Chain A
Amino acid sequence: MRYVGRRLVIYAVTLWAAISLNFFLPRMLPGDPASILIAKMSRNGDVTEAQLESIRRLFGNPEASLWQQYLDYWEQLFSGDLGTSVSFYPTPVTELIGSALPWSIGLVGVATIISFTIGIGAGMFTGWKRGTWVDHVVPSTTLLQSLPYFWVAMVLIYFFSVQNQWFPIIGGYNVFMFNGPEWSWEFVGSVLYHAILPAITIVISSVGGWLLGMRNMMVSTMGEDYVTTAEAKGLKKRRIMTTYAARNAMLPSIAGFGVALGFVVGGFVVMETVFSYPGIGKLMITAVRANDYALMQGVFLVITLTVLVAMFITDMIYGLIDPRARQNV
Chain B
Amino acid sequence: MIRTMGRKRVVAAASMVAGLSLIVAGCSDSEGGDDEMSADPTTSADSTAGAAAGEGVATDRELVVWAGAQTPLNQTFNPFVPEVQHLALGGVYESLFYYNKAGSGEPLPLLGESFEWNADGTQLTITIREGVTWNDGEAFTTDDVIYAFTNDIAAPDYIASAEATDDTTVILSFDEPQYTNELSLLGLTWMIPEHVWANLDEDPLSFPNIEPVGTGPYTIASISDANYTGVANPDYWGGEPNLTNVRYIGIDGNQSAEDLLRTGQIDWVGMFVPEPQGMEDAGLGYINTPQDPTVLYTCSNADLGCEGDQTDVAVRQALNLAIDRSAIKDKAFVGLTGTASPTFALLGRDDQWISPDVSAESPQSPEIEEAQAILEEAGYTADADGFYGKDGEAIEMSLTSVDGWTDYNNAAQLIQEQAAEAGIKVTASTVSWNEFADGRTNGDFELIMGGVIGTSVPDPFQIYKDWFGGDATTPAGTALEPGDWNFSRYSNETVDEQIQVAASTIDEATKIAAYATIQEEITRDLPYIPIVINATQTFYNQTDYTGWPTEDNLYAFPPAWASGGAGVVLSNLGGTE
Option from B19, B221, B224, B259 in Cβ contact (under 8 Å) with A157: B259
Task: Verify A45–B155 contact, CB threshold 8 A.
Answer: yes
A interface residue numbers (CB < 8 A to B): 39-46, 48, 51, 54, 87-91, 96, 99-100, 150, 154, 157-158, 161-162, 165, 168-181, 270, 272-276, 278, 282-283, 286
Query: A150 — nearest CB in chain B belongs to which residue?
Result: B1
B interface residue numbers (CB < 8 A to A): 1, 16, 19, 29-32, 62, 64, 70-72, 74-75, 80-83, 152-157, 203, 205-206, 208, 221-229, 247, 249-253, 255-256, 259-260, 262-263, 265, 482-483
Option from B206, B252, B262 in Cβ contact (under 8 Å) with A282: B252
Query: A180 — nearest CB in chain B belongs to which residue?
Result: B224
Task: Verify B260–A169 contact, CB threshold 8 A.
Answer: yes
CB contact under 8 A between A39 and B482, given known A48-B152, A88-B83, A161-B263: yes
Query: B82 — nearest CB in chain A belongs to which residue?
Result: A40
Chain A residue numbers with a CB within 8 Å of B256 are 157, 169-170, 274-276
Query: A38 — nearest CB in chain B belongs to which residue?
Result: B482
**With A and B bound together, what is the CA distance between A65 and B64 in angstroms?**
51
The residue in B71, B157, B252 that gathers the most chain A C-beta atoms within 10 A of its C-beta is B71
Task: Verify A282–B72 contact, CB threshold 8 A.
Answer: yes
Chain B residue numbers with a CB within 8 Å of A150 are 1
Given contacts A100-B72, A180-B223, A180-B225, 20 further A-B contacts (CB under 8 A): A39-B482, A41-B82, A42-B482, A42-B483, A43-B483, A44-B80, A87-B74, A88-B74, A90-B205, A90-B208, A157-B259, A169-B265, A171-B249, A174-B32, A176-B265, A177-B31, A179-B227, A179-B229, A274-B256, A276-B70
**With A and B bound together, what is the CA distance between A169 and B265 in angstroms?**
10
Task: Verify A282–B31 contact, CB threshold 8 A.
Answer: no
A99 to chain B, nearest CB (A): 6
Task: Verify B263–A90 contact, CB threshold 8 A.
Answer: no
**With A and B bound together, what is the CA distance between A170 and B70 in angstroms?**
12
A192 to chain B, nearest CB (A): 15
Task: Verify B265–A282 contact, CB threshold 8 A.
Answer: no
Option from A100, A165, A168, A274 in Cβ contact (under 8 Å) with B253: A274
CB contact under 8 A between A273 and B226, given known A88-B74, A282-B72: no
A30 to chain B, nearest CB (A): 10
CB contact under 8 A between A91 and B205, given known A40-B82, A169-B260: no
Task: Verify B263–A175 contact, CB threshold 8 A.
Answer: no
Chain B residue numbers with a CB within 8 Å of A169 are 256, 259-260, 263, 265
Task: Verify A278–B71 contact, CB threshold 8 A.
Answer: yes
Task: Verify B75–A91 contact, CB threshold 8 A.
Answer: yes
**With A and B bound together, what is the CA distance between A262 and B228 in angstroms?**
33
B534 to chain A, nearest CB (A): 22
Chain A residue numbers with a CB within 8 Å of B250 are 175, 276
Option from A39, A174, A270 in Cβ contact (under 8 Å) with B31: A174
Task: Verify A175–B249 contact, CB threshold 8 A.
Answer: yes
**With A and B bound together, what is the CA distance between A40 and B221 in angstroms?**
28
Query: B74 — nearest CB in chain A belongs to which residue?
Result: A88
Chain A residue numbers with a CB within 8 Å of B83 are 87-89
Chain B residue numbers with a CB within 8 Å of A162 are 259, 262-263
**With A and B bound together, what is the CA distance between A180 and B74 in angstroms?**
13
CB contact under 8 A between A154 and B265, given known A43-B16, A179-B221, A180-B223: no
